[in-house]
A and B are shown apart, each in its own frame.
Chain A
Amino acid sequence: MLTKKNKSKHITFFTILILLLIVLFFLDLVLGSVKIPVNEILNILTKSESSRQEWITIVIDFRLPKAITAIIAGAALSVSGLQMQTIFRNPLAGPYVLGISSGASLGVAILVLGFSSFFTANQLNFMGNWAVVVSACIGSGLILFLILALSFRIKDIMTILILGILFGSAATAVVSILQYFSNESMLKAFIVWTMGSLGSVSRSQLNILLPSVILGLVISLASTKILNAMLLGESYAKSMGVNIKLSRILVFISTSILAGTITAFCGPIGFIGIAVPHLTRIIFKTTNHNFLIPGSILIGSIIMLLSDIISRMPGYNTTLPINSVTALLGIPIVIFIIVRKHKLSSLM
């Protein structure tokens, strides 16, 4: 049971995190390759006025959608990772254990590499993001469908985990074959996709990304009770009157919506989904999903914004791929988890 002291502590944490999120969101708008004074940014945001026309475009059309995407992606990946860690009771599970990212990669690889004899890398660029987004969705949807179909039949959750990994490996093998036979420019196009990108999400795509992620998060928040019961083992959950199969499927669906849409629009972004749930548990010192889910949303968004700021390398004229940055930020956390695993397992 929560003590009063704990409750006030959590409120303090949430307040600090929300403030940090706001500060980083603003920093993400301020920092970039092009130097724009802070007062100009405030003017652009409040009055859409600036002494230089191109600054308005940069802030409104480039930095704002990117910062919003960072928040959405961070929240979605962290929550889906948290759900997978709870369902599989495995500290190293993440949003992609079900093979969602491999499925999405397969979809994109078939589009980019499989049909490469029909169009050039340049023409692929002209098709815009939508072709890539749709094929990523089809690919991850296919894997999800397989997992769901099996979830109805298979009782043991570990079997599902292993099947997810196997499906993922199978998809990766097909991707390798496609890579082997494709030409350099297409290969580069595909590799760049696997590195992830927050900046290519346009404002019209945000109109789809945002509602999907909100839907996923709502399902997730609605299943906190199930997740909390699952922590104590499936037989315990069953004794509490939880329908195991149905709950699993509910959680799988929300995970797929969250991780699937982010992968489709931004590419497979690694490590956030594994690292953030642990970070949240360490900070909040609780296993209660009522706190872990909102906590993961906030911490995930904060880390993603931070990664975005670093990836943009303020002051330099170039960018780093977002995946490298999240990996470099996430790996120390994962190492920390492995080294101190006994302690974390007790939290799960």
Chain B
Amino acid sequence: MTTTQRNAFFDDSGSSDSIMQLRDITVSFDMDSGESRVVDHANLDLQRNEILGIVGESGSGKSMLASSMMDAIEDPGRLRGSVTYNPQSGEPAEVLEMSGSELKEFRWDTVSMVFQGAMSSFNPTLSIRRHFVETLDAHDYNVSEGMAYAEDLLSDLYLDPDRVLDSYPHELSGGMSQRALIALSMILDPEVLIMDEPTAALDLLMQRSIISLINDLKEKYDLTIALITHDLPLIAELVDRVAVMYAFDLIEVGPVEDVLTGSIHPYTRMLLKATPDVDSPVEDMRPIEGDMPDPLNVPDGCAFHPRCPMADEQCVEVDPRAYEANTEHAAKCHYWDEVDKQIPMSQETSSMDTFAESSVSAEHRTWTEHDDPVIELDDVKVHFEKEESGFRLFSSPPTVKAVDGVSLDIYERDVTVMLGESGCGKTTLGKAAVGLQRPTGGSINYYGDSESGDPVDIWQVRDSDSEDGIKWGEIRKSLQIIHQDPGSALNPHRRVSTLLEDPLKRWQPDMDGHDRRARVLGLIEHCGMTPPESYIDRYPHQLSGGEQQRMAIIRAMLMNPEVILADEPVSALDVSLRVEMMDLMIQLQEEFDTSYFYVSHDMANARYITEKTGGRIGILYLGKLVEVGPPEQIVHNPRHPYTKALRWATPKLQAEDTEIQGDTPLRSIDIPDPEDPPSGCPFHTRCPAAREVCKEEMPGSYAGSEDSGHEVSCFRAVEDHEYWDSEPLGEDGDLPDVFIQN
């Protein structure tokens, strides 16, 4: 390494101010069938006081790269290469050659890490205070000073220090425990903070809030941050530079605006186009064909060439070096200068015939009033009583009102999306709608075929088991479910053939074995998995995530149901597969005439699927439906303050200015305790536009706009209502910008 190389990835010329330098990092595992490299000769510099985003899909090696910065690769993995730390003053230190005690001091004191999944990163038997105290003790710090510092940190993160420190991890919500984990990682005042998907399991609003907090922390505590994520739009406003990982190596590095709008690597471009985004037109979204390569079996030459529309012989044979567009932006692609023409970010000049075309015709359908619903939800309530030990003499036991009076109609061939954060009751509502959860109040009325006339309450049919009219069997057959995690929705002990033949055996007992098998093979092929014979004898663990989810969809479709509850069906899949899966669902809907009751927490996905099918989006908050309407209205003209907040929180790709768009427009970050819901309008505790009357009365359902399907449950939608004369609950001052603009 005597030549001083310099490119955007790394700089050995000695003139840059990088706080950490990674050179030739390779992480490998020895398997029976060869050496499996999960990081393959990666080089990267981390500049002082910057926020670097490391972006890649699951399985691309980014967590391993992060762990290698702290020399934290566990056996049987092996780490080779060099990691150099350059302190502000003093000698550079080679991390991989540190002794045990030096490494112990280095970790957490100089470089610290925030892990993914805060719920499982805390020891469930210790209180949060013990975690802090143990960490301070282990590094021989003064405990009382350290704890005072911890309390400062926790307040900066909008947590109540006393309450949080005395709690156990399971008593904190996801957002709170993630923030507590961030505080724990900063307790020793590190220089570098590595964050591994800090917001992965969190809700939209919480994600957004934490992202803006990170920027504040960096300024106040003088940190350098490396942020690992699969969600590029989320960090677009936060990071300074972005490094993209594919197939275990870094393939592009550059400033975030350049990479987002003018990327010079085909993978980054295709990834951005495959990510549903709230603002870009629906026609521009394209899935990426193929799969990420296996670490044992990385293709020669450029690792991306099997999936790249621009690949040619040079790509197959020669592994590209880093080509620079300018001193700060480089990518490993032979044809980096042609990427702009070949893969445009918008559709105007499109030579995308070699591209995976979205197989569904991409016209907009607008929502029109349908005649007959298939299912009618009539004031559905699902209340759970908490089990308690001990006596309760006077008051009733605490109930969690998961669903609190929702009325909705689901029509034929419709897509209705229930959008909301975790804990708002959308999954419970969905399961009640398809007959898997008994409601404690209200009814679910099934119409079935239009000829039979009156609707029937499905649970009455279930209980009475009468012979005339619609039978429970027919209802059961028409209401199906697709689960969120396909890995657990398919019984791992059974083969695909038995799993898919189950519904046929149950409902069509006259079919003989050969016909069943042929039917299943036909549907497997129809969903894009060829040759079907090789799939049918597999166990679920031999299928990829996307294939598993398709099998689950086929299983539901085999009964030709009227309504399918799709419970976040794409959130467990890689980003590049989501558009493809939603397109498949849309295509199947057109062929088999089903309706989807789609549950999601992601507004971009909701908008994608409803715009393509002319569906509706409904927003749920604490068990109540606060707004419902077609996507054009919900996304571009939201009327309810909560919808506006969700819209603000949804990451956008083309941020006009990459500044953080202001602070959270809500008065408090955390959702109220579901056992003790607020009176009147449930949102009044957090709504910046709330007034006294909102505390007392629950708003009814008012028209949101001229669109007949757009309804909103907020007093602000009514022109003359006592709301406008009432006293505001929040501080005086203007409403946040997001409420004024759209």
Q: Does B associate with A?
A: no
B residues adjacent to A (C-beta < 8 A): none
